[in-house]
């Protein structure tokens, strides 16, 4: 088969799989809720995203496989309306509103333990919902274009699907039940956090979870394979005049999270440190268009490399500074 013919067939298959994925319905994440989830935002559109938007748009991670393949996988961030960016199918309309209203519309208070808990719950919910969506989409894609993959390509693709399956079947149910126990009991001592406020809008917004072990994660997991994977949530919430940065983790991971409890708003390299976490660890970053467009192309490519390699070691000053800080 000619390469151009093969690409055409792959594009058609990806287009079909993407359409199916857009139509797919999921149940609300709240335990015992039987309603379908709506498309909600892990980063609130009004307030958080609109505070960094220009012409109602931001740069955000591409989620659409069809567009990604067409763009040659080079640009991981693309200009999107704030209606599209950071969307996930997580909760029904009632739960999405009732659970997260305390931290929306400018009410987020970094000293309030319940608010920090809600940032953790939202980050885990986003991670879970995007992974279940991704897992089903990968199966669709495989069924459409399997015969066009090389043996190696197929093996790599299936291996990434296996990691997601383990997360969905083992890690996520464990964490979500722990989270809803805390939500019901209001026992905030089961979480810990380090949250602070920056006195300006830094032009970037993000909600994500990552391993506190970073590059040491695989070797830790090899020795602790029966345990759920440790993680920490990281939220960057800008508004007109300030930005809230919150690291939140389960108290049971305290031993692994020392590095994050020591981050201090007054340390000299703080803007580089936060910039590094945002661009190396976040899978859901949104950036103000004028801020992203002025970054030189070699710097953008370097940032994309860091985004792509989840276990790359990156010292804070090696990632080009994007934040308006």
Q: Which CB atom, from 96 or from 281, has the smaller least distance to Zn ion?
A: 96
For 63, 132, 164, 230, the CA distances from 135, given in Å and listed in that order, are 13, 5, 7, 21
CA 309/CA 16 separation, integer angstroms:
28
Q: Which CB atom, from 37 or from 211, has the smaller least distance to Zn ion?
A: 37
Q: Which CB atom, from 95 or from 300, has the smaller least distance to Zn ion?
A: 95
Beta bridge partners of 248: 193, 233
For 136, 227, 256, the CA distances from 253, given in Å and listed in that order, are 30, 12, 5
Q: Which CB atom, from 93 or from 219, has the smaller least distance to Zn ion?
A: 93
268's CB contacts (< 8 A; 6+ apart) are: none
| Residue 121 lies near Zn ion (rule: CB under 5 A) | no
Q: Which CB atom, from 87 or from 217, has the smaller least distance to Zn ion?
A: 87
Span from 11-19, 47-55, 93-101, 273-281 in contact with Zn ion (CB under 5 A): 93-101
| Residue 172 lies near Zn ion (rule: CB under 5 A) | no
Kindly state the smallest distance separating residue 114's Cβ from Zn ion, in Å: 20
Number of chain residues interacting with Zn ion (CB under 5 A): 6
Q: Applying CB under 5 A, which of residues 41, 95, 122, 131 lies at the interface with Zn ion?
A: 95
For 53, 233, 277, 285, 299, the CA distances from 322, given in Å and listed in that order, are 15, 21, 12, 12, 9
**Helix, strand or coil, per DSSP, at residue 198:** strand
Q: Which CB atom, from 33 or from 221, has the smaller least distance to Zn ion?
A: 33
Q: Applying CB under 5 A, which of residues 76, 92, 202, 287 lies at the interface with Zn ion?
A: 92
CA 133/CA 140 separation, integer angstroms:
11
| Residue 99 lies near Zn ion (rule: CB under 5 A) | no
- Residue 278: enclosing H or E segment and its boundaries? helix 270-281
Q: Which CB atom, from 92 or from 191, has the smaller least distance to Zn ion?
A: 92
Kindly state the smallest distance separating residue 179's Cβ from Zn ion, in Å: 15
Site for Zn ion in 20-79 (CB under 5 A): 28, 30, 33, 35
Kindly state the smallest distance separating residue 185's Cβ from Zn ion, in Å: 19
Nearest in space to 120 (alpha carbons), one of 59, 178, 63: 178
Span from 88-96, 117-125, 184-192, 311-319 in contact with Zn ion (CB under 5 A): 88-96
CB burial string 182-218: b at 16+ within 10 A, e below: bbeeeeeeebbbbbbebeebbbbbbbbbbbbbbeebe
Token pair of 33, please?
């809720």
Kindly state the smallest distance separating residue 83's Cβ from Zn ion, in Å: 22
Q: 10 Å Cβ neighbour count for 249?
A: 23
| Residue 115 lies near Zn ion (rule: CB under 5 A) | no
Kindly state the smallest distance separating residue 95's Cβ from Zn ion, in Å: 4
Q: Which residues bind Zn ion (CB under 5 A)?
A: 28, 30, 33, 35, 92, 95
């Amino acid at each position: 088969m000619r390469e151009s013919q093969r690409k055409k067939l792959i594009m058609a298959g990806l287009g079909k799989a993407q359409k199916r994925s857009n139509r797919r319905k999921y149940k609300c994440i709240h335990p015992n809720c039987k309603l379908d989830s709506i498309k909600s935002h892990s980063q609130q559109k009004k307030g958080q995203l609109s505070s960094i938007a220009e012409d109602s748009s931001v740069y955000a991670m591409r989620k659409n496989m069809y567009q990604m393949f067409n763009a040659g996988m080079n640009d991981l961030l693309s200009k999107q309306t704030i209606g599209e960016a950071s969307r996930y199918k997580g909760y029904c309309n009632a739960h999405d509103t009732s659970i997260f209203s305390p931290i929306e519309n400018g009410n987020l208070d970094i000293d309030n333990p319940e608010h920090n808990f809600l940032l953790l719950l939202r980050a885990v919910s986003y991670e879970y919902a995007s992974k279940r969506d991704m897992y089903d989409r990968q199966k669709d894609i495989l069924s459409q274009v399997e015969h066009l993959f090389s043996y190696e390509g197929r093996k790599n693709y299936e291996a990434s699907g296996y990691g997601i399956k383990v997360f969905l079947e083992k890690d996520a149910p464990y964490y979500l039940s722990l989270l809803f126990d805390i939500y019901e009991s209001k026992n905030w001592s089961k979480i810990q956090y380090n949250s602070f406020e920056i006195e300006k809008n830094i032009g970037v917004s993000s909600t994500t979870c990552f391993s506190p072990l970073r590059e040491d994660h695989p070797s830790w997991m090899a020795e602790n394979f029966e345990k759920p994977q440790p993680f920490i949530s990281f939220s960057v919430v800008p508004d007109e005049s300030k930005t809230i940065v919150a690291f939140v983790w389960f108290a049971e991971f305290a031993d692994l999270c020392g590095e994050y409890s020591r981050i201090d708003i007054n340390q000299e390299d703080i803007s580089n440190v936060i910039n590094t976490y945002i661009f190396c660890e976040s899978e859901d970053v949104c950036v103000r268009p004028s801020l992203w467009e002025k970054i030189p192309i070699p710097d953008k490519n370097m940032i994309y490399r860091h985004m792509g390699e989840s276990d790359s070691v990156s010292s804070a000053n090696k990632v080009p500074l994007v934040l308006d800080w």
